[in-house]
């Protein structure tokens, strides 16, 4: 299961920097995760200060 980023995202970019496969990019109002590229490793969740990345 891929991670998704909830509306709690504050667009700080911490998650993008931690993704080992570059599956995270800036969206219009929050960062987004490419579900096909996501490894479900949880690195993004560990880096996020507001716990926005969540496992589906």
Domains of the chain: 3-55 (3.30.70.20)
The 10s digit of each residue's pLDDT in 18-41 is 999 999 999 999 999 999 999 999
Distance in angstroms (rounded) separating the CA atoms of residues 10 and 37: 22
Per-residue pLDDT band for 52 (boundaries 50, 70, 90) equals very high
Per-residue pLDDT band for 1 (boundaries 50, 70, 90) equals confident
* Predicted confidence (pLDDT) at residue 2 exceeds the cutoff of 90: yes
Distance in angstroms (rounded) separating the CA atoms of residues 4 and 52: 8
In this structure, what token pair is assigned to residue 44?
């993004």
pLDDT of residue 56: 84
**28-55 in b/e burial notation, b at 16+ Cβ within 10 A?**
eeebbbeeeebeeeebbbebbeeebbee
Supply the mean pLDDT for the chain. Answer: 97
- pTM equals 0.92
């Amino acid at each position: 299961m891929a991670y998704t980023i909830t509306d709690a995202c504050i667009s700080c970019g911490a998650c993008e920097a931690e993704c080992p496969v570059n599956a995270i990019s800036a969206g219009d109002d929050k960062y987004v995760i490419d579900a096909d590229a996501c490894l479900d490793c949880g690195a993004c969740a560990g880096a996020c200060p507001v716990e926005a990345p969540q496992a589906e």
